[in-house]
Amino acid sequence: MAFFDLSLDELYKYKGSSKEPNDFESFWLSTIKENNHKSEAKYNLIQTHLKLFDVWEVSFLGYKKHAIKGWYIAPKNSSKLTCIMHYLGYGSGKDLPINHIIFPSAGYSVFVMETRGQGAESGNGASTADPEGYGVHADGFLTKGILDKNDYYYRRVFIDALKAIEASKEHPLTEKIVINGGSQGGGISLAACALSELSNIKIEAMMADVPFLCDYKRASTITDTLPYNEIARYCKTNRDKENIVFNTLSYFDGVFFAKRAKAKALFSVGLMDIIVPPSTVFAAYNNYAGDKAIEVYTFNGHEGGDNYHTEKKLYFLSRL
Q: What are residue 113's phi and psi, to 5 degrees?
A: -95, 125
Contacts of 149 (CB under 8 A, 6+ apart): 27, 155, 247, 248, 251, 252
Cα distances (angstroms) measured from residue 270 to each of 56, 62, 180, 300, 303: 34, 32, 17, 5, 7
Task: Give the whole-angstrom CA distance, residue 280 versus residue 290.
Answer: 18
Residues noted as catalytic: 183, 273, 302
Query: CB burial class (10 A; 0-12, 13-18, 19+) of residue 274?
Result: middle
Alpha carbon 115 to its chain centroid, in Å, reads 9
The CA-based dihedral angle spanning residues 71, 76, 79, 83, taken in that order and rounded to the nearest 10 degrees: -30
